[in-house]
Chains A and B, each alone.
Chain A
Amino acid sequence: MEPIIKIEHLCKEFKLKEMDVHALNDVSLDIYKGDIYGIIGMSGAGKSTLVRCLNFLERPTSGNVVVDGRDLAQLSGKELREERKSIGMIFQHFNLLMQRSVVDNVCFPLEIAGMKRSEARKKAMEYLEIVGLTEKAKAYPVQLSGGQKQRVAIARVLASDPKILLCDEATSALDPQTTKSILQLLKEINRKFGITIVVITHEMAVVQEICSHVAIIDQGNLVEHGKVEDIFSAPQSREAKRLIYQGFEKVAEMKGKRCVRIVFAENSSFEPVIGNMVLTFKTPVNILYANTRDLDGVAKGEMILQLPEDAETGEKMIAYLKNAKLSVEEMEDYESVHRIGGAQGGREEGDEAC
Chain B
Amino acid sequence: MLTAREVSMIIEGIGGTLWMVLMSVLFGYILGLPMGILLTVTGKDGIRPNAAVYKVFDVISNIFRSIPFLILLLLVQPLTRLILGKSYGATATIVPLTIAAAPYIARMVESSLKEVDHGVIEAAQSMGASNWTIIFKVLLTEARTSLIVNATIATNTILGYSAMAGACGGGGLGDIAVRYGYHRWQPDILLITVVLLVVLAQIFQMTGMFISRLVDRRRVE
Near B by CB (< 8 A), chain A positions 41-93 give: 55, 57, 81-85, 87-89, 91, 93
Decide: B218 and A142 in contact? CB cutoff 8 A: yes
A109 at the interface (CB under 8 A from B): yes
Contacts of B219 in A (CB 8 A): 142
Decide: A95 and B123 in contact? CB cutoff 8 A: yes
Known: A111-B137, A142-B220, A143-B221. A99 touches B126 (CB 8 A): no
B138 at the interface (CB under 8 A from A): yes
Please tell me which stretch of B6-14, B52-60, B114-122 contacts chain A, meaning at least 4 of its Cβ atoms lie within 8 angstroms of it: B114-122
Contacts of B123 in A (CB 8 A): 89, 91, 95-96, 153
Distance in Å: Cβ of B145 to nearest Cβ of chain A: 8
A32 at the interface (CB under 8 A from B): no
**Complex alpha-carbon distance, A108 and B141, angstroms:** 13
Decide: B142 and A99 in contact? CB cutoff 8 A: yes
**Complex alpha-carbon distance, A83 and B128, angstroms:** 8
Distance in Å: Cβ of B38 to nearest Cβ of chain A: 19
Contacts of B122 in A (CB 8 A): 57, 91, 95
Decide: B128 and A96 in contact? CB cutoff 8 A: no
Q: Which of B117, B122, B123, B137 has the most CB of A within 10 A?
A: B123
Decide: B217 and A140 in contact? CB cutoff 8 A: yes
Distance in Å: Cβ of B48 to nearest Cβ of chain A: 10
Taking a contact as CB atoms closer than 8 A, the residue among B128, B141, B215 that contacts A97 in the complex is B141
**Complex alpha-carbon distance, A112 and B144, angstroms:** 20
Decide: B120 and A96 in contact? CB cutoff 8 A: yes
- Closest residue of chain B to A140 (Cβ to Cβ) is B217
Contacts of B128 in A (CB 8 A): 81-85, 109, 112, 160
**Complex alpha-carbon distance, A91 and B119, angstroms:** 8
Contacts of A160 in B (CB 8 A): 127-128
Distance in Å: Cβ of A122 to nearest Cβ of chain B: 19
Q: Given A81-B130, A112-B130, 13 other A-B contacts at CB below 8 A?
A: A57-B122, A57-B125, A81-B129, A85-B128, A89-B123, A91-B123, A93-B117, A96-B120, A98-B217, A99-B217, A140-B217, A156-B127, A166-B126
Decide: B220 and A143 in contact? CB cutoff 8 A: yes
B133 at the interface (CB under 8 A from A): yes
Decide: B217 and A112 in contact? CB cutoff 8 A: no
Contacts of B126 in A (CB 8 A): 55, 57, 84, 87-89, 166
Q: Mark A98-123, 1 if CB is under 8 A from B, else 0.
A: 11110000001101100000000000
Q: Is the interface of A mostly helix, strand, loop or mixed?
A: mixed
Decide: B129 and A99 in contact? CB cutoff 8 A: no
* Chain A positions near chain B (C-beta within 8 angstroms): 55, 57, 81-85, 87-89, 91, 93, 95-101, 108-109, 111-112, 140, 142-143, 153, 156, 160, 166
Contacts of B124 in A (CB 8 A): 108, 112
Near A by CB (< 8 A), chain B positions 190-221 give: 215-221
**Complex alpha-carbon distance, A57 and B123, angstroms:** 10
Known: A84-B127, A108-B127. A93 touches B119 (CB 8 A): yes
Contacts of B145 in A (CB 8 A): 99
Distance in Å: Cβ of A26 to nearest Cβ of chain B: 25
Distance in Å: Cβ of A206 to nearest Cβ of chain B: 20
Contacts of A97 in B (CB 8 A): 120, 138, 141-142
**Complex alpha-carbon distance, A166 and B128, angstroms:** 14
Distance in Å: Cβ of A192 to nearest Cβ of chain B: 21
Contacts of A109 in B (CB 8 A): 127-128
Decide: B144 and A99 in contact? CB cutoff 8 A: yes
Distance in Å: Cβ of A4 to nearest Cβ of chain B: 17
Decide: A95 and B120 in contact? CB cutoff 8 A: yes
**Complex alpha-carbon distance, A87 and B126, angstroms:** 8
Decide: B129 and A112 in contact? CB cutoff 8 A: yes
Contacts of B142 in A (CB 8 A): 97-99
**Complex alpha-carbon distance, A55 and B55, angstroms:** 30
Q: What are 5 A-to-B residue pairs whose CB atoms are below 8 Å?
A: A96-B123, A99-B218, A109-B127, A109-B128, A160-B127
Distance in Å: Cβ of B139 to nearest Cβ of chain A: 11
Decide: A100 and B127 in contact? CB cutoff 8 A: no
**Complex alpha-carbon distance, A339 and B219, angstroms:** 49
- Closest residue of chain A to B133 (Cβ to Cβ) is A112
Contacts of B129 in A (CB 8 A): 81, 112
- Closest residue of chain A to B118 (Cβ to Cβ) is A95
Distance in Å: Cβ of A154 to nearest Cβ of chain B: 12
